[in-house]
Amino acid sequence: MAEKTPHQNITFPLPNSDVTETGHGYLALPASGSGPGVIVIQEWWGLTDHIKDVADRLADQGFVALAPDLYGGWITHDGDEAGEMMSKLPAEEGARQLAGATDFLLEHEKVTSSTVGAIGFCMGGGFVLALAAQQGEKVSAAVPFYGVGQAVPEVYTGVQAAVQGHYANQDQMYPPEKAHQQEQQIREESGAQVEFFYYDAGHAFHNDENLMGTYDSERAELAWNRAVTFLKEKVA
């Protein structure tokens, strides 16, 4: 029987605060007890069981995976409510929580890497790029899946991470034309290694909860394997 991934709910300090504020998240450790650090950033649904499962799957691959709870405990499976919840999260506040999560991982005794990786989906994909742009050398690998939302950067000059994007050709929320433009913009403005993959699928094709009816198991597995291999190569 495979050993179950150790996991726990944790808190971490937030930067730029006049009072002691804490962020919350879900931390999954590899069976070995230590490994490189990766931040997992939620979709607009909140810190759902699916996102926790992504963290667990990364821990099974040897990573220390932290999924911050950007909504403070709120989750939904209703699209209209999810859109409202996303709109109520200022990009600056999400970025502040992710900065705290980054420092928490880099200082964690079980994290063996001197940088972190970041992977995120939908809203979380936008925040992956924002985190890479704002945290510079602290982030060595950024993996956005069909990133949308308030956090998608306007400029990418601060990105030092290698970027591997996963986007969908039938995405109505972030059309492939915009993704191709974004890929080129990141490459030109950052000088970083950038590679986007495009799949014959719809938005959220990786989410096996299938809340939007677009889950594609074959393409999800392909994208996942590419992402894991990339994170293993870049986060050290």
Look up the CATH number of domain 7-234. 3.40.50.1820
Supply the pLDDT for residue 36.
Answer: 98
Q: Predicted confidence band at 8 (pLDDT cuts at 50, 70, 90)? A: confident
Q: What type of residue is 27?
A: L
Whether 73 contacts 106, CB under 8 Å: no
d(CA 122, CA 145): 6
Q: pTM of the full predicted structure?
A: 0.95
d(CA 202, CA 212): 9
Better-scored residue on pLDDT, 16 or 207: 207
Per-domain residue ranges of the chain: 7-234
Which residue in the block uniquely carries the two structure tokens 């029987």?
1
Tokens at 221, concatenated: 């597995």
Q: In what order do the strands lie in the sheet with 162-168?
A: 7-13, 22-28, 64-68, 35-41, 111-121, 139-145, 162-168, 194-199
* 51-108: pLDDT as tens digits: 999 999 999 999 999 999 999 999 999 999 999 999 999 999 999 999 999 999 999 9
Q: Is the pLDDT of residue 2 over 70?
A: no
Backbone CA torsion sign across 72, 100, 156, 50 = negative
d(CA 125, CA 174): 11
The total of other beta-carbon atoms located within 10 Å of residue 92's CB is 12
